[in-house]
Amino acid sequence: MKPLFLLLTFGLALQTWAGDARPNVLLMVSDDLAATLGCYGHPQAQTPHLDALAKEGVLFSRAYCQFPHCNPSRSSFLSGLRPNQTRVTDNADSLYVNIPDVLTLPHHFRQQGYATARCGKLFHLGIPTGLESMDDPHAWDFGTPFKDERPYPPKRNSIVTVQTGKKQGLVWQEIPGDDDQLCDGAFATTAIGWLKKRDADKPFFLAVGFHRPHLPLVAPAKYFDLYPLDEITLPDSPANDVEDIPAPARNGSVPGYAMTSTPEQRRASIRAYLACVSYVDAQAGRLLASLKEQGLLENTIIIFTSDHGWHLGEHGLWHKRSLFEESARVPLIVSAPGMKGNGRTAVGLAELTDLYPTLCDLCGISAPSHLQGKSLRPVLNDPASSVHVAAFTQARRGKDAEHWGRSVRTPRWRCTEWDEGRNGIELYDHEADPHEYTNLAQVPEHAPTLKELRAMLAKHLPQMVLSEKR
């Protein structure tokens, strides 16, 4: 079967530059990180290095993933295609089986003469086996294997009840020792070493994929010490919050993710997540310091983002794979030399599929014709502008992943359909309800808005029907 798009793997000519002064690229991708950073206004997150990066670049306050699940999201933004085209909707799907001649972002840069390196998880990896089954074999000059860190050094860890078998809080552990005991510290060390030994005659595309704050929430004890347990606060959700949420969107609708816990265990879970976020921030800081030390900052585009968000108790959820704001929204910081908007916050919508065309634009590289995102360069020069009127996200939930969700986010509204509306519709007004506590889908006065948004969903995200049930 021929792919939907003609993805030219070898047809784009290599450009020549005088002295090859094209900008370098440092792409940092965290795993399961919501907008839980100090620069995004989180009241407790201690992330000084990423906060400093945001002051130097442009912080996108409304950036969204296209599928809040590791492999589907990464397959989407690294190919520049939406999940409807990649047909990657779970961690077992293969982008390269579905589109054999797909031209991914790092592969394209390698073809254009960039030295490419991966340290950590960029494409989805076969954790816990360490098999890099979803990695692009054509993308890298250098790549590091994913190391299984277990067994972790013993210290303190969370509890799983034997009686119920349900998680009592997220699985976490604080360990003694330094940062390099865990993979993210090792990834940062390896990346810094590669930078020092790279071929200086070529521009570089360095991708560093941090594993945290993906479960289990393991970090050195010094990062847990930043967050006294008695200072951790819980989401202040209304008691009846879940009453107007459709069944596919509720807690427990995805096997393995349901969690019951006491308030103390919830606070311990949030503390552990924040500790892992600070651990990632420290590794990002090491990379930024190395760029500065080597005199590379002035000619390096730096991007920090995540594959999708994560819930810390909002709507009773403690996971990803939802279509609420906390799961669909991602942090996105872009620091590009010479952009007029550096140091400001962009309020317009952005999608992770925009990364590929943005980097091509900023580096003066021809963008492949198949890309479905848009270059964010206009926003980097004027953060008050926008290149999107809406951002789109999809998900699958249910015991057998039988429920298909699709969601549209505009500057004011979020509208979500489950199974084209047959199993529920949601409408939230972010001007009045930024936490999405009140579903307005059944309120008559909002019927015209709902109709307009549902039409956008039908047009831009046709419901996927796969022949194979998972």
Residue 4 lies in a domain: no
Give the pLDDT score at 465. Answer: 59
Give the pLDDT score at 5. Answer: 42
Closest CA to 108 of 282, 395, 461, 357: 357
Residue 470 lies in a domain: no
Rounded to whole angstroms, the Cα distance separating 65 from 305 reads: 10
H-assigned helices in 198-227: 221-224
Query: What CATH number does the domain containing 254 carry?
Result: 3.40.720.10
Tens digit of pLDDT at every position of the chain (470 positions)? 344 443 443 334 344 344 568 999 999 999 999 999 999 999 999 999 999 999 999 999 999 999 999 999 999 999 999 999 999 999 989 999 999 999 999 999 999 999 999 999 999 975 444 444 689 989 999 998 777 788 888 888 875 544 444 556 899 999 998 999 999 999 999 999 999 999 999 999 999 999 999 999 999 999 999 999 999 999 998 989 999 999 999 988 887 777 777 899 999 999 999 999 999 999 999 999 999 999 999 999 999 999 999 999 999 999 999 999 999 999 999 999 999 999 999 999 999 999 999 999 999 999 999 999 999 999 999 999 999 999 999 999 999 999 999 999 999 999 999 999 999 999 999 999 999 999 999 999 999 999 999 999 999 998 775 544 33
Residue 1 lies in a domain: no
Neighbours of 336 (CB within 10 A): 25
Going by C-beta distance under 8 Å and a sequence separation of 6 or more, which residues neighbour residue 307? 29, 30, 31, 32, 65, 70, 73, 74, 77, 330, 352
| Number of domains observed in the structure of the chain | 1
Give the pLDDT score at 166. Answer: 53
Q: Give me the half-sphere count of Cα atoms (radius 13 Å) on the Cβ side of residue 338.
A: 8
Rounded to whole angstroms, the Cα distance separating 410 from 358 reads: 21
Residue 288 belongs to what domain range?
Answer: 20-460
The sign of the dihedral angle between the CA atoms of 34, 285, 148, 267 is negative
Give the pLDDT score at 370. Answer: 95
Give the pLDDT score at 134. Answer: 86
Residue 317 lies in a domain: yes
Residue 30 DSSP one-character state: E
Residue 84 lies in a domain: yes
Going by C-beta distance under 8 Å and a sequence separation of 6 or more, which residues neighbour residue 455? none
Q: Please report where in the chains the tokens 């936490």 appear, as a residue.
A: 435
Residue 35 lies in a domain: yes
Rounded to whole angstroms, the Cα distance separating 456 from 70 reads: 25
Residue 387 DSSP one-character state: S
Going by C-beta distance under 8 Å and a sequence separation of 6 or more, which residues neighbour residue 252? 258
Considering the entire predicted model, what is its pTM? 0.93
